[in-house]
Amino acid sequence: MNTLIILFVFPLLIIFSYLFDAFSRKTKFPAVILLMFTGIVVRAIMSAYGYDQLDFLDNLIPVLGTIGLILIVLEGALELEIKKDKLSLILKGFFAALVILVLNIAALQWIFTNLFQMNTQLATLTAIPLAIISSAVAIPSAAGLLEQDREFVVYESTFSDILGIMIFNYALRQFEAQQALIGTTPLVSLFLQILGVIVISVAITYVLFRLMRQIDHHVKFFLILALLILVYAFGKLFHLPALVTIFIFGIFLSNVKSLLPQFLKNYLDLEQTEKELHEFHILTAESTFIVRTFFFLFFGFSIQLSDFNSIQPLFYGVLIILIMLLLRYTYFTATTFKIKPSPLVYMSPRGLISILLFIQLKEVGFIDLSTSPIDERVLLIIILSSMLVMLIGTLKKAEPSEVENEIEEETPLTVEMNIDSHELSKNEAEDSLN
């Protein structure tokens, strides 16, 4: 493939992604599905013309996915406001992510062990990626929800990413050391590790913020992003939850006025700081768009339709997604005391994290994925099914909410217009009598 073809293809892919995103905002149909199908179609066309040497994707997809994950968590954190009245919402998002994640892992692990005859280690490590909500899909798809529900989705999906990766690394480390997964000593060690990471994250956040304020060079935001990626790489090297650092940094930037001590505010030009943070947010959003575009395009590009020669992956995928949907419905019914499912029940798509952790499983030496019935085909079915469930649920539930919002927004205006019309008619009547 020569340079000229690449110069045609790459811009066209970005344009298509932009159109998919615009289409998604209008119809609520996930743009990620369109990106993956575009990659599948392009792969089929290239295979028909004999272009099948695509080994570079094995290394490119994990890199793009990791960078995309960092940017997505950062972008989501930059959109959140920390206030006292939102503390309950943050806690609800955290506990929903934790409880549903643990329930899903336990249920899938039991099914994989007892029904699919998988060993405990393989069953557990396979269940964890499937249980994690993808913030890369959930956050953009929640744009049409009510503000409180949208913020809940951002909190829950972000916490699900962070907690899921922490549990995955913890389980991997315990199995490698041939130790019990649940025990007092390892759990206490994990808790202390999390506290240590939070303290370190706060220190790193302060250093990066001071660095951002002191750099006079016109190019500085990409330097900050590069440092964040470097921090994540160090965390991954030592099996630490480095996403916590990314999340804390984003939260701090989006809430400088409320989180920064008063004596430090006196040394800052807050208007200039807010302007720079807004520019950084725009850069992060556009970088996320580009990375997410090529990640899901290349993931679709790596899929060959010829591999789907059996109905077994479809059966496994649908069974898994139904179990996870039932557990999610049970949780929200028990916590809200409402039998009728809310839009939040459907907002549990799988995607980027599941793909990344599945790829990481291939590098684990003490398990054999070749004997596992849960493979990339099942993963794709679960991802597509969860997105379609999210689409159907949000379309079904969003319309009444939007109508109610329009009524709530228009009612005061209508009342004012009626009052103004009444007063105008009264004045005209008085003028005619005079």
Which carries the bigger pLDDT value, residue 331 or residue 145? 331
DSSP-derived letter for residue 217 is S
> For 21, what's the count of Cα atoms within 13 Å in the CB-facing half-sphere?
16
Q: How far apart are the first and last CA of the chain?
A: 87
Nearest alpha-carbon partner for 361 in 41, 144, 189, 127: 127
Lookup result for tokens 């993931």 = 299
Give residue 193's pLDDT.
78
- Please state the pTM of the whole predicted model: 0.80
Q: Can you give the C-alpha Rg of the chain in angstroms?
A: 25
Task: Please answer whether residues 151 and 83 qualify as being in contact, where contact means their C-beta atoms are separated by less than 8 angstroms.
Answer: no
User: In the chain, what are the domain boundaries?
Assistant: 3-397
Fold of 3-397: Na+/H+ antiporter like fold (1.20.1530)
Percent of the chain residues topping a pLDDT of 70: 85
> For 278, what's the count of Cα atoms within 13 Å in the CB-facing half-sphere?
6
Q: Calculate helix-pair angle for 87-114, 312-336, nearest 10 degrees.
A: 140
Average pLDDT over every residue of 61-76: 82
Of 201-210, 257-266, 365-374, give the lowest mean pLDDT range: 257-266
Average pLDDT over every residue of 34-62: 77
Which carries the bigger pLDDT value, residue 30 or residue 397? 30
Which carries the bigger pLDDT value, residue 140 or residue 229? 229
Question: pLDDT class for 87, splitting at 50, 70, 90?
Answer: confident
Q: How is residue 56 written in tokens?
A: 């570079």
> For 164, what's the count of Cα atoms within 13 Å in the CB-facing half-sphere?
34
Average pLDDT over every residue of 215-244: 81
Q: How is residue 42 written in tokens?
A: 């392009």
The pLDDT of residue 411 is above 60: no
Q: What is the pLDDT of residues 271-316, one digit of tens each?
A: 666 777 888 888 888 888 888 888 888 888 877 777 777 888 899 9
The pLDDT of residue 423 is above 60: no
CA distance 330 to 339: 9
Of 245-249, 343-347, 392-396, give the lowest mean pLDDT range: 392-396
Mean pLDDT score of the chain, rounded to an integer? Answer: 79
Count of C-beta atoms within a 10 Å radius of residue 86: 15
Of 22-26, 256-260, 303-307, 396-400, give the lowest mean pLDDT range: 396-400
Q: Calculate helix-pair angle for 352-361, 57-78, nearest 10 degrees.
A: 140
Run of H or E residues at 5: helix 3-27
Which carries the bigger pLDDT value, residue 148 or residue 240? 148
- How many angstroms separate the Cα of 169 from the Cα of each of 5, 333, 350, 358? 41, 31, 19, 13
Task: Please answer whether residues 148 and 60 qualify as being in contact, where contact means their C-beta atoms are separated by less than 8 angstroms.
Answer: no
